Structure 1
Amino acid sequence: MSQGGPRVRAHPGRAVVTAATVTLAVGLAACGTVGEPSDSGGITATKGGSMIGLLLPSSQSSRYETWDRPLIEQRIQELCDDCTVEYANAQLDVAAQQQQVDVMITKGVEVLILDPVDARSLRSSVEKADRAGIPVVAYDRLAEGPISGYVSYNNERVGVLQGEALLEALGDKADGAQIVMLNGSPTDPNAATFKRGALSVLQGKVKIGKAYDAPGWRSEEAHASMSSAIAALGADNIDGVYAAGDNLAAGAISALKAAKIEPLPPVTGQNAELAAVQRIVSGEQYMSVYKPYQPEADAAAAMAVALRRGEELDEIAETRVDSPTTKNVPAVVLDPVPVTVDNIKETVVKDGVYTIDQICTPKFRSACEKTGLIG
């Protein structure tokens, strides 16, 4: 694999950092030419020979189409110039993703990178791929079944960072404060881990007035749940909101604003989406968790190409994890980074995820000036 650049290495609880992960902006300059857009969620392919399948779960979060897909495709082509990337997006439809796996098997992909809509429901599809001799790399979520590798972030640490930030935002009012928890989708194994991490920090420090799941991570679910919490607890009795993701934060904030709650209580988030960063700048959202996309994409691409070549993953993945069905899976586990108004420049701007101009549009210019993002 030396011809493709430095190997991706991982240690438990530590981020993977390689020369290939430093400059997102440069890598993305070429990404637009890698594959054709797939608005319908159907299979699309890049040019090449050997086929590697890439199945992503949704476009509910902007990260998948904006970052994960182009970065994975770009890195695969850097490592394997005769590889074709076959791509599809399930748009949160389990049956569609199961069918997409079937199509990938029929088309003869040699490796499959899979971010499952529902880890348990996709188990039979992973087993089907395994029977067809197709190794599966679980991406971002730990798929069930006989997977060959796994790439994600330290998801319990994500929840810990969110919980710590919420306590920091509450300050002296944390003791006895009442919060609402808006957790992720019950079919997403990461959501349970985020929640566990958050509770390890919050339990015993604050009162959890209401807690809800958000099927499919949909913002409208968060809006409805937040509205219910306001009705049940009272508008003056919500001191903070644990939102597991940025789209859930958006739904919660819209419900809080609709109830004319001022000032808004601190709200957490995850994925450092552009709209979330702008909400952080404007003071509507307290924080998000940034999970640098490039090292995750690089590791998945490196695993897929290694498996396509029949190579072991030991030099890529120096960590092992257990899924509910498979033990000792070679894994790359990366460190997440909290983002608040104080470190936007040092995180998402420095890494080239967003420019100051993208963040500080006319609507947010005054807020950007107040926070020091622009002079």
Structure 2
Amino acid sequence: MSSTPRAPGGATSRRNMLFGTAAAGAALFAAGCTSNESNESAEESGAAGVADDKPGKKVTIGFAGPQADHGWLNAITTQAKKRAEKYEDVRLEATEGSNDNATQVGQIDTLINKKVDVLVVLPADGKALTQAGLKAMRAGIPVVNLDRVFASQKAYRCWIGGDNYGMGLNAGHFIGEQLKDRKKAKVVELAGVDNLELTRQRTKGFDDALKSYPNIEKVARQAAEFTVESGQSKMSQLLRAQQRFDALWNHDDDQGVGALRAIEQAGRDEFLMVGGAGSKRVMQAIKKDDSVVKATVLYPPTMAASAIDLARALGQGKGIGGMAEFEIPASLTLYSAVVSKENVDQYLPIGFT
């Protein structure tokens, strides 16, 4: 998972489904990314040349991301590739992916040397790969910075990603509403990797939400590592330390697999569990409604598909329609929707495995 800047109804069509499922944030994106160029004047068309599914100018998009060693990261790569395949006019040049900064820099250099039209980059480390983004921009290749933000805005034309603070905030409010009538309610938190900004933002959002519920106290917090093994180990520690609590906020659905193992082994079921990111496994558990899992807060990997749409529009000198401005926004923060039993059928199609 990755750090995010604090931001400089079912759909009927394929495009609307992809953007609509990311709720308000993605709807903003679908409503109006426009390029710096226009094929017709505003007076003639009312828009700056809107991209659609019809084949247009051929565009080669370079895609560079980290190694897909996590369910969410694998979904990012899958979303990007599947989205590119939908377009006859898009050719995707995708790298193998690497968590080694030097290797990823080399992969981006290769894409630059191939003279791709647009570059989509989810850096393993945004700060460490800033120079790679700058190099592409200086070479005249616009960069769509996906999720993990570069250290300089000069390194990308547009940033699109998730809202880590919003994840924690919405998880906290969901739990708060479930427990608002319970006296002296207790909650615990199974966080992600503590030295990552994303983890700190998720915790801050959660803590800020709980301030609205004076009857609720967060009594324990453990940091895991976004892995099944760490989730099981750290959840076991929480369960041993806390004989009773009312709710658990787990930052990541992958580590939640291990957390659920620990919960089942301990025979505990007195609390509700809210996950994070939006895996298909968790959504299915929510739908089945026979475990402690009652909700998950999205960190939608559909952002990668949206990045491909944005890159295609950039390469064709077109917009995506709806906004009055002709320029692509500098940043697009997706909304962290809460998926519960009431709306899980809507979101199941974008749950990742």
Question: TM-score w.r.t. structure 2 length?
Answer: 0.70
- Provide the C-alpha distance between the structure 2 equivalents of 1:88 and 1:214, rounded to a whole number of angstroms: 29
Shift of 1:163: 0.9
| Paired residue secondary structure (1:302) | helix
- Which string of whole-angstrom CA distances, capped at 9 and with x for unpartnered residues, describes residues 222-267 of structure 1? 2222223334x24x13432211121132222222223x14215222
Asked if the contact 2:167/2:299 (under 8 Å) is kept, the reply is no
| Paired residue secondary structure (1:241) | strand
2:336 alignment counterpart: 336
Q: 2:181 aligns with which of 166, 172, 181?
A: 172
Change (3 A) 1:220 1:96: farther
Letter in 1 for 2:274: T
- Provide the C-alpha distance between the structure 1 equivalents of 2:239 and 2:139, rounded to a whole number of angstroms: 51
1:191 alignment counterpart: 199
In the alignment, does 2:307 pair up with 1:307?
no
- Which string of whole-angstrom CA distances, capped at 9 and with x for unpartnered residues, describes residues 337-360 of structure 1? 211123222x225xx447xxx99x
Change (3 A) 1:274 1:172: same
- Provide the C-alpha distance between the structure 2 equivalents of 1:339 and 1:9, rounded to a whole number of angstroms: 16
2:294 alignment counterpart: 286
Asked if the contact 1:9/1:316 (under 8 Å) is kept, the reply is no
| Paired residue secondary structure (1:117) | coil
Stretch moving more, 57-66 or 105-114? 57-66
Aligned Cα root-mean-square deviation (Å): 4.0
- Provide the C-alpha distance between the structure 2 equivalents of 1:137 and 1:189, rounded to a whole number of angstroms: 21
1:256 alignment counterpart: 263
In the alignment, does 2:165 pair up with 1:156?
yes
Q: 1:147 aligns with which of 141, 156, 175?
A: 156
Letter in 2 for 1:88: T
Shift of 1:93: 4.4
| Paired residue secondary structure (2:269) | coil
In the alignment, does 2:68 pair up with 1:59?
yes
In the alignment, does 2:107 pair up with 1:100?
yes
Letter in 2 for 1:335: Y
In the alignment, does 2:117 pair up with 1:110?
yes
Asked if the contact 1:246/1:276 (under 8 Å) is kept, the reply is yes
Letter in 1 for 2:192: G
Asked if the contact 1:89/1:97 (under 8 Å) is kept, the reply is no
Asked if the contact 1:9/1:315 (under 8 Å) is kept, the reply is no
- Provide the C-alpha distance between the structure 2 equivalents of 1:206 and 1:120, rounded to a whole number of angstroms: 37
- Provide the C-alpha distance between the structure 1 equivalents of 2:186 and 2:220, rounded to a whole number of angstroms: 9
Letter in 2 for 1:342: E
Between the two proteins, the alignment pairs up a number of residues equal to: 304
Specify every segment of 5 or more residues in structure 2 that has no aligned partner in the other structure, as ranges: 1-14, 32-56
Shift of 1:303: 2.5
Letter in 1 for 2:219: G
In the alignment, does 2:284 pair up with 1:275?
no
Letter in 2 for 1:286: K
Shift of 1:133: 3.5
Asked if the contact 1:57/1:92 (under 8 Å) is kept, the reply is yes
Shift of 1:50: 4.7
Specify every segment of 5 or more residues in structure 1 that has no aligned partner in the other structure, as ranges: 22-47, 321-327, 360-375
- Provide the C-alpha distance between the structure 2 equivalents of 1:309 and 1:161, rounded to a whole number of angstroms: 37
Asked if the contact 1:14/1:335 (under 8 Å) is kept, the reply is yes
2:209 alignment counterpart: 201
Asked if the contact 2:120/2:144 (under 8 Å) is kept, the reply is yes
| Paired residue secondary structure (1:225) | helix
1:228 alignment counterpart: 237
- Which string of whole-angstrom CA distances, capped at 9 and with x for unpartnered residues, describes residues 74-107 of structure 1? 544656x443211135364445433432332333
- Provide the C-alpha distance between the structure 2 equivalents of 1:254 and 1:335, rounded to a whole number of angstroms: 29
2:129 alignment counterpart: 122
Q: Bigger relative contact order, structure 1 or 2, given CA contacts below 8 A and separation 6+? A: 2
2:347 alignment counterpart: 348
Letter in 1 for 2:24: R
Asked if the contact 1:119/1:187 (under 8 Å) is kept, the reply is no
- Provide the C-alpha distance between the structure 2 equivalents of 1:58 and 1:196, rounded to a whole number of angstroms: 28
| Paired residue secondary structure (2:275) | coil
Shift of 1:201: 0.8
Asked if the contact 1:141/1:189 (under 8 Å) is kept, the reply is no
- Provide the C-alpha distance between the structure 1 equivalents of 2:231 and 2:329, rounded to a whole number of angstroms: 34
Q: 1:266 aligns with which of 250, 268, 272?
A: 272
- Provide the C-alpha distance between the structure 1 equivalents of 2:231 and 2:208, rounded to a whole number of angstroms: 22
Shift of 1:62: 3.2
Asked if the contact 1:317/1:331 (under 8 Å) is kept, the reply is no
- Provide the C-alpha distance between the structure 2 equivalents of 1:75 and 1:158, rounded to a whole number of angstroms: 25
- Which string of whole-angstrom CA distances, capped at 9 and with x for unpartnered residues, describes residues 162-192 of structure 1? 112222343533x533332222335654433
Letter in 2 for 1:15: G
Shift of 1:285: 1.3
Shift of 1:302: 3.3
